[in-house]
Amino acid sequence: MFPFMDHLLIRPATRADFAAVDRLLADSYPRLLAKDYAPSILVTALPIISRARPELIASGRYFVAEDAGDIVGAGGWSDGAPGDGTRTPATGHIRHVVTDYRLQRQGIGRRLMGAVIADAQGTGVRVLDCLSTLTAQAFYESLGFRAIGPVAVPLHPGIAFPAIQMALHLA
């Protein structure tokens, strides 16, 4: 259906991908989140959330979707919770997932998340926790995640970002 999908490569990110992932987040998050968040929230949150995380990219648990050399999606998981790094046995945490805003609804995110979920499950993870943006809730639900409820994700003192905590129980 989507010709470029035949050429889409999902692979673990490397340090060399940092700048491309950073650009993808900085270009896509503002456009994707604008319909669900007030400008007053985005003006404080975007400088924090739309930056690539070197520790995630170097972890071996972060993946990119590449089409003809261009990074068109990225995302991964960690065994530590975002923010404080709390670890819970057999629990993984979905981290920093993005698809190029111009290529939404073409299967990139689904293919990318398939690799992320398989990788986490292969290490013994039985539950994937996700702090979804309001924008991405329906996407995660389409993958089998269930909403637990709204949360305010602390980004810095005095800065909280509205999100939906979600979970996927793996077989």
Report the CATH number at residue 97. Answer: 3.40.630.30
93-150 pLDDT per residue, tens? 999 999 999 999 999 999 999 999 999 999 999 999 999 999 999 999 999 999 999 9
- Has residue 74 got a pLDDT over 90? yes
Residue 107 belongs to what domain range? 3-126
Q: Which DSSP category does 17 fall into?
A: G
Is the residue at 50 inside a domain? Answer: yes
Is the residue at 152 inside a domain? Answer: no
Is the residue at 138 inside a domain? Answer: no
What would the two tokens of residue 107 be? 């299967």
- Does residue 138 contact residue 109 with C-beta atoms inside 8 Å? no
- Does residue 153 contact residue 131 with C-beta atoms inside 8 Å? yes
Is the residue at 154 inside a domain? Answer: no
Is the residue at 136 inside a domain? Answer: no
- Does residue 39 contact residue 82 with C-beta atoms inside 8 Å? no
Q: How many domains does the chain have?
A: 1
pLDDT of residue 82: 77
Is the residue at 145 inside a domain? Answer: no
pLDDT confidence band for 60 (50 / 70 / 90) = very high
